[in-house]
Homo-oligomer: A and B are copies of this chain.
Amino acid sequence: MTNSDLDAVAAAVRERIDPDEAERRALADAAAALESRVHDALADLPVDADALQVGSTARGTWLSGDRDIDLFVRFPADLDREELEAYGLEVGHAVLPDGHEEYAEHPYVKGDHDGFDVDLVPCYDVPSASDIRSAVDRTPFHNAYLTERLDDDLAADVRVFKRFLKGIDAYGSDLRTEGFSGYLAELLVVEHGGFEPLLLAAADWNPQVEFDPEDHGTRSFSDPLVVIDPTDPERNVAAVCSAENVARLQHYARDLLSDPRESLFFRPDPPALDPDGVRDHLARRGTSAVAVVFDCPDLVDDQLYPQLKKSLTGVADGLDRRGFDVFRRATFADGDGEAVLFVELSVDERPTVERHEGPPVHVRRHAEGFYDAYEGGDDHYGPFLDGDRYVVEREREFTSATDFLESDALFDVALGKHVESTLSEDGYDVLVGDDVAALADSFGAELGRYFVPRP
Contacts and interface: CB of A to CB of B under 8 A. Distances in A.
Interface string A172-213: 000000000000000000000000000000011111000000
Nearest to A452: B381
Contact of A351 (B243, B254, B327, B453): B327
B455 A390 contact: yes
A286 interface: yes
B248 A203 contact: no
A17 interface: no
B247 A388 contact: yes
Interface in A92-150: none
Given A286-B351, A346-B351, A388 B327 contact: no
A286 B362 contact: no
Nearest to A381: B453
Number of chain A interface residues as a range = 35 or more
Interface string A280-293: 00001111100000
A240 interface: no
A145 to B, nearest CB: 29
Q: Which of A328, A355, A399 has most B Cβ within 10 Å?
A: A328
A386 interface: yes
Nearest to A396: B286
B327 A254 contact: no
A40 B455 CA distance: 90
A347 interface: yes
A219 interface: no
Interface of A: 203-207, 224, 242-244, 246-248, 250-251, 254, 284-288, 323, 325, 327-328, 346-347, 350-353, 355, 360-362, 364, 367-368, 371, 381-390, 393, 399, 451-455
A-B pairs, top 4 by smallest CB distance, nearest first, are A286-B352, A384-B453, A286-B351, A247-B361
Given A247-B360, A288-B351, 17 more contacts: A205-B362, A247-B385, A247-B387, A247-B389, A251-B371, A286-B353, A287-B351, A287-B352, A328-B393, A347-B347, A381-B452, A381-B453, A382-B453, A382-B454, A384-B454, A384-B455, A390-B455
